[in-house]
Amino acid sequence: MNIVGIIPARMAAIRFPNKPLATIQDIPMVGHVYFRSKMAKSLNDVYVATCDKEIADYVRSIGGKAVMTKNTHEDAIDRTAEALANIEKETGTHIDFAALIQGDEPMLHPDMVDEMIQPVKNDSSLQVVNLIQKAVSEEEFQSPNTVKLSLDLASNILYFTRVPIPSRAKFKGEIPMWKQLGMMTFRNDALRAYASLPRTPLEIIEGVGMLRFIENGIHIKAAVTEYRTHSVDTPEDLKEVEDLMKSDTLIASYSS
């Protein structure tokens, strides 16, 4: 199977403008994500998908591949879908699966990429896989910035929401506190279908794009990881990650 990693990145983030090129240990954030993604064993290639020339120029300066996309995309999945089509057109090669890797995860471990791709290697009929993990605290589980989810008995995702699920209203025991990570694997036709479908009611209500799949009857398989990452949403997050990466063990393999 031809499986390509796609890292969507744009300069116009509302909470942290120019975030992809913010430096951590003297390397722009998107560079960390690119180098670490390249270490994954399951990927045939890795591209950064962007609408910004500054990002594309940087990626190419480090020997990476960038694909230009429109600046009108509302979410990372739409940008990834356009990037998939553009890469196929440029290379003349069919891509079986696209792995979306968020550009604000500079402490990504390459094994996480392999973990979210393993299910489609086991079963190529799967349409979508989303990497998930357990919330580590009640505060994280309650936060509206954390997307929570529920699973069925076959580890398919039933629903995404920003409020805590399942409900404790009538149950006093321990409940599963699953949260979504921004790493997904899409079969080619499923990703193209997403881009062609209108936004759905629950997607709009919850502010979670992956609900578009569920509302259209497309199953999402969950893949679980034990790795913990530290995404960067604000300048304060950047400072925290800068400190954490002082003891990071992977950075030495790609920093000069």
pLDDT at position 185: 98
236 confidence band (pLDDT: 50, 70, 90): very high
Which CATH number goes with the domain that contains 129?
A: 3.90.550.10
Rounded to an integer, the average pLDDT of 16-34 is 95
Question: What does the pLDDT average to over 117-142?
Answer: 96
Q: What percent of the chain has pLDDT over 90?
A: 92
User: Does the residue 176 lie in any domain?
Assistant: yes
Assigned domain for 251 exists:
no
Going 191 to 129 to 69 to 65, the CA torsion angle's sign is: negative
> How far is 51 from 83, CA to CA, in rounded Å?
10
The reply to whether 256 falls in a domain is no
pLDDT in tens, 155-164: 999 999 999 9
Q: Is the pLDDT of residue 177 over 80?
A: yes
The pLDDT confidence band at residue 1, using thresholds 50, 70 and 90, is very high
Q: Give the C-alpha separation, 113 to 36, whole Å.
A: 9
**pLDDT higher than 90, residue 86:** yes
For the cut 90, the answer to whether the pLDDT of residue 189 exceeds it is: yes
The mean pLDDT of 133-160, rounded to a whole number, is 95
Report the b/e string of 224-252 with b at 16+ CB within 10 A.
ebeeebebbeeeebbeebeeebeebebbe
In a domain, 249, yes or no: no
Mean pLDDT, all residues of the chain: 95
Say how many C-beta atoms besides its own lie within 10 A of residue 60's C-beta. 12
Question: CA dist 172 to 161, 162, 164, 246, Å?
Answer: 21, 21, 14, 42
Q: Per-residue confidence at 145, pLDDT binned at 50, 70, 90?
A: confident
Q: Is residue 248 situated within a structural domain?
A: no
**Looking at the domain assignment, is residue 255 inside a domain?**
no
Query: pTM of the prediction?
Result: 0.95
Is 74 inside any structural domain? yes
Q: CB 63: neighbour CB atoms within 10 A?
A: 8
Split into its structural domains, the chain has a count of 1
Of residues 3, 5, 220, 4, the one with CA closest to residue 126? 220
Q: How many residues does the chain have?
A: 256
| Residue 55 near residue 66, CB atoms below 8 Å | yes
Range from 90-99, 149-158, 241-250 carrying the lowest mean pLDDT: 241-250
Residue ranges making up the domain that contains 155: 3-241
Q: Flag whether pLDDT at 179 surpasses 80.
A: yes
